Structure 1
């Protein structure tokens, strides 16, 4: 009798045409290789090139980024365990949701822009079937809870209406020209961020001097070929894939799907040129912040800032508290720790190497500061990212 574990057949309805989809699939593969003994059917498509299960597929489970109601109905008819990895169709009965924490995404975006001194905000998300309105709601509500105004792009047409490129440009240009400046705009994703940057260029609007742009997700190609290169929120796609596979495995073994979504926080913000500006009208603070950004990883202290910016320490403290809500020393530590978190997520550097790269004397001091800021050790944070 064959005692080898059964090779399960798992369909993955996640597009491979962007960095996020590829990283989700990588996370699923990580789990499958270590735990699942699965045969993965990747991104099957119908004759119209839409993501769809083949009629003859007879598998054990599905992990999907649902894009429309027809796809949802088709998959649910198969009566197999299903895990959803996007918020567009969140909360379907009997389906497990493993999704990005949109509240944390909004928090990262807002504070990245707020730390650059912006007091005017907008959200850009043309009507589209590819994303949920929830992404924008979280950001808009956070801005308004902070006592600030957030403008929205409302072009006056519904999802599904097709507009020509020139008409889209006219509508977006009108909206951009109606906004006060300097303005920080959070876009729903990298594709829309790149579109906005292109329209700004053609309309003679300077990015980031007049309008700063931050994308709600990271597509490496879209962000890097954008003019200027596009800052973006780095989602934990690989961890979403891993946790989705782990949840599906439990469901295929007979467990019921959880009643609440499993929310995965993003890694952080990847800062590029599209937000490389300080919208602060105090030259002393701007100079000090520029110095911190350039030298934070060289073991500087507040005294070094005072050599660059000839004001009293007390005056500098007051101005930092006024504009940023923290002291110069706290800003140095914040910049270092944010860099450390990015390196933990995006590299295989050791803790000691990361500590040195971020301006800490050793790994122990980095670990203590990291745990105080983020509530976990650097190793625990890195382990959380993939859980593999």
Structure 2
């Protein structure tokens, strides 16, 4: 970054809600960048008495980072004429503005792979009409399934975003939709709040989660996912890195560089698997037993021979059945589980790479590092650093 004998503190508004974990992580990423390359004076979460975004009249800013979610908010930001970076996709392709957001195609691939690893063959997407999120997550999920010649049952209640409906009517509409879905079904919910809403409705209506309905949220929230009954599986998106990269982009624009013509897409971290997707939708008792053995012992250094000692079948039969039900071989499933756990521990803990390798069932950091790089294209340390935009 350029040095100057006289450093002016830049005024940057951060129009990102801090009342949920995604927003707080985005703001943390912005703050991390400021601490390294500032100084910036951050105006965070400025809202008026009605909880609407409201920039103070006396504020004289240099730039804005925002989660733009309404036409009114967009109009107010455009009227400022300030360099702006958008960190959401409700308005995905705004001209003269930078964009940093989650790579939806990769998130969809992660969700479908997670469901298919449990033998699930029926899929649905849940997102009631709302201005809080766009259709991009839904489009990517449906497209990923279409590429595999699979269909998706999308929740379409038949009312507009502007209509307000009561809790009971919402419950009844969702229950009717759930009742008409094939079973067992894998449901991808647009966020953790909506995922928990589904678990509550299923509980009230006597629908078993995950045996009849497996639920995965498209983002994670530690509190909401933990309070859900059963605990809610979710996808950990790199929200802190989104904030950091948004700050990098805004800094460049404020220094006179042109807005990038394409959005900066950030890969999601990993699936945080909990009880809401802990299902095995297959009708072969031996293969179910083999998969449960893998899930229980994958991190203890097991190999395929250990599975064959547990289930009395030939290796050829085991491999053919795994390919049929899960689309991968038993050895590939062991490796997938280990590396996904490694990813989760790298992003959710401060454990050393050596400790993580051991926790995932690897003989050492070299073996873990080689396997991790082969699957994800980067070393474990590089992955951890990239989470924070370092």
TM range (shorter): over 0.9
Structure-1 separation of matches of 2:221 and 2:177:
25
**Residues 53 and 75 of structure 1 are in contact (CA less than 8 Å); yes or no, is this contact kept in structure 2?**
no
Aligned partner of 2:46 in structure 1 is: 44
Q: Deviations over 1:13-68 (max 9, x none)?
A: 00011100000000000000011201111000123211221222111100000121
Which residue of 235, 238, 250 maps to 2:237? 235
> Do residues 374 (structure 1) and 369 (structure 2) align?
no
Deviation at 1:371, TM superposition (A): 1.1
Q: Deviations over 1:311-358 (max 9, x none)?
A: 111211111111122211111111111111111111222221111110
Structure-2 separation of matches of 1:325 and 1:214:
20
Aligned partner of 2:140 in structure 1 is: 138
Aligned partner of 1:100 in structure 2 is: 102
- Once the two structures are overlaid, the 10-residue window that deviates more, 373-382 or 90-99, is 373-382
**Alpha-carbon RMSD:** 1.1
> Do residues 275 (structure 1) and 266 (structure 2) align?
no
Deviation at 1:282, TM superposition (A): 1.3
Aligned partner of 2:112 in structure 1 is: 110
Structure-2 separation of matches of 1:52 and 1:272:
39
* Mapping of residues 350-365 of structure 1, within 5 Å: 350-365=352-367
Which residue of 139, 162, 167 maps to 2:169? 167
Deviation at 1:364, TM superposition (A): 0.5
Which residue of 218, 222, 225 maps to 1:223? 225
Structure-1 separation of matches of 2:255 and 2:376:
35
Which residue of 310, 317, 333 maps to 2:319? 317
* Mapping of residues 194-343 of structure 1, within 5 Å: 194-343=196-345
Deviation at 1:3, TM superposition (A): 3.3
> Do residues 91 (structure 1) and 96 (structure 2) align?
no
Q: Deviations over 1:237-269 (max 9, x none)?
A: 000000000111111111111000000011011
Deviation at 1:220, TM superposition (A): 1.3
Structure-1 separation of matches of 2:160 and 2:147:
28
Structure-2 separation of matches of 1:346 and 1:329:
26
**Residues 15 and 51 of structure 1 are in contact (CA less than 8 Å); yes or no, is this contact kept in structure 2?**
no
Structure 1 residue runs of 5 or longer lacking an equivalent are none
SS in 1 for 2:43: strand
Which residue of 185, 188, 204 maps to 1:186? 188
Deviation at 1:146, TM superposition (A): 0.8
Which residue of 71, 76, 79 maps to 1:77? 79
**Structure 1 runs of 4+ off > 2 angstroms?**
none
Aligned partner of 2:69 in structure 1 is: 67
Structure-1 separation of matches of 2:271 and 2:250:
29
**Residues 98 and 263 of structure 1 are in contact (CA less than 8 Å); yes or no, is this contact kept in structure 2?**
yes
Question: How many residues end up aligned between the 2 structures?
Answer: 387
Aligned partner of 1:383 in structure 2 is: 385
Q: Deviations over 1:254-301 (max 9, x none)?
A: 111100000001101100110011111111111111111111111111
Structure-2 separation of matches of 1:290 and 1:258:
47
Q: Deviations over 1:95-127 (max 9, x none)?
A: 100011111111111110111100000001100
Deviation at 1:380, TM superposition (A): 1.7
Structure-2 separation of matches of 1:378 and 1:83:
29
Structure-2 separation of matches of 1:107 and 1:52:
38
Instruction: Please report the TM-score for the alignment, with normalisation by the length of structure 1.
Output: 0.98
**Residues 18 and 219 of structure 1 are in contact (CA less than 8 Å); yes or no, is this contact kept in structure 2?**
yes
